[in-house]
Amino acid sequence: MSTLDSFVRSSKPPPEIVSTSQEIRDRGSIFIANIFRATSEAEARRSVAHLRNVVHGQKRASHEMCAWRCMVLKPERTGLAGEDDFEVRQGNEDDGEKWGSMRILKVMQAEGVIDAVVVVSRWYGGEMIGPARFSHIETCTREACRSFRVRDEVEELVVTLRSLDDILVTLRAELQVLRVSQSTFEDTKTIERKAPDYDTLMDSLDVEKAKRLVAAREKAIKSVKLNIQKLTPRSSGSDDIKADHTS
């Protein structure tokens, strides 16, 4: 079975590219960076192999230099002790482009990217370009890393939004029950709200908009809680205690 066939027939879903840099062209050479999520060296290597053999299978790059950084448990640790139980393990491979992968790793460290592998692909154009290649490698890597960090932040905010949405749905249902129980009208209607779709937000990677939405949800939750508090009947016991204090 060919390498390509083994990837296609694998039961595992293929590695997914999180972000891709713009191409840099210089004297016939092309540089481009792709970043994947990776929580281990094995995952990192699988992503590199997928890029080389599947994504670039029809047009192989001259070099697929890469570097990875993964947060892993220290030997004989459980993770229960917190951050001290973990360490960052990193590695890099030049794939024939000497010192190229060290430039990738250097940028990843500077950008604080963890649990990822960056692969910078170079298609050699037939003309040597000297040290300029290192600048291109770093530029591509930096762009991919920054996009990765932004996507991570938006994804975390979307997780928060979905959690707040669930809380809001529960609170609104509770408020509706109280309103119906205290209403003199039998036809009190329940307002049905469509579940928010955050796909557009993920596509736009608009961090500030995501933060505004989180703030709006928190404000809405506070408002609904206040309304629930106003409509919630006070227990007779608490009223008796207040009466004793005022008598």
> Residue 141: its pLDDT value, please?
98
C-alpha to C-alpha distances, 17 to 48, 77, 207, nearest whole angstrom? 10, 31, 20
Bridge partners, 33 (sequence order) = 120
Q: What is the pLDDT of residues 25-47, one digit of tens each?
A: 999 999 999 999 999 999 999 99
> Residue 14: its pLDDT value, please?
93
> Residue 8: its pLDDT value, please?
52
Tell me the mean pLDDT in the region 219-239: 83
Report the DSSP pairing between strands 63-73 and 29-37. unpaired
Burial track 71-89 (b if 16+ CB lie within 10 A, e otherwise): eeeeeeeeeeeeeeeeeee
Confidence of residue 78 (pLDDT cuts 50, 70, 90): confident
Domain locations along the chain: 8-150, 153-237
Q: What is the pLDDT of residues 94-153, one digit of tens each?
A: 999 999 999 999 999 999 999 999 999 999 999 999 999 999 999 999 999 999 999 999
Overall CATH class of domain 8-150: alpha beta
Confidence of residue 84 (pLDDT cuts 50, 70, 90): confident
Q: What is the pLDDT of residues 65-77, one digit of tens each?
A: 999 999 999 888 8
Question: Does residue 116 sit in helix, strand or coil?
Answer: strand
Distance of alpha carbon 40 from its chain centroid, rounded?
Answer: 17
Scanning the structure block, which residue is given the tokens 């047009």?
A: 59
Scanning the structure block, which residue is given the tokens 């713009």?
A: 22
